[in-house]
Amino acid sequence: MPDQIPHTLANFWKASVLYYLRSQVLGIVDDNHGLSKRLPENYSGQVFLFGPKNGEIDPDKIIRVPTWKEVYPIIETHNPLLQH
């Protein structure tokens, strides 16, 4: 995130960049619940929420990833480029 972006706008900035790059970036692993709330409804990428359960999530928009050890296997199962 650029230094000139206030911390309070971090999720908005990140969501805007993800949406802008949606044809090149298929998703993100993040530890912030707030990011998914800033993404537009029509965002087609996948959000993998890292870390322990902390509040409710929308299972249609977010896939929880509890530990770093599980990140790659979980992403691999949801990668549209690997789906047959």
**With contact defined as beta carbons under 8 Å apart, do 52 and 65 qualify?**
no
DSSP 16-59: HHHHHTTTT--EEEES-HHHHHHS-TT--SEEEEESS--S---T
Query: Is 47 within the bounds of a domain?
Result: yes
Domain contains 42:
yes
The answer as to whether 1 is a domain residue is no
CA atoms within 13 A on the CB side of 11: 13
Residue 8 inside a domain? The answer is: no
Residue 67 domain flag? yes
Of the candidates 59, 63, 61, 5, the residue with the CA atom closest to the CA atom of residue 36: 61
Position 2 in a domain: no
pTM given for the model: 0.79
**69 is a domain residue:** yes
What is the longest distance spanned by two Cα atoms in the chain?
A: 43
Domains of the chain: total: 1
**CB of 63 within 8 A of CB of 46?**
yes
Position 5 pLDDT exceeds 80: yes
Look at residue 12 and tell me if it is in a domain.
no
Per-residue pLDDT tens for 10-63?
Answer: 999 999 999 999 889 888 999 888 888 888 888 888 899 887 676 666 666 788
Domain that holds residue 46: 25-84
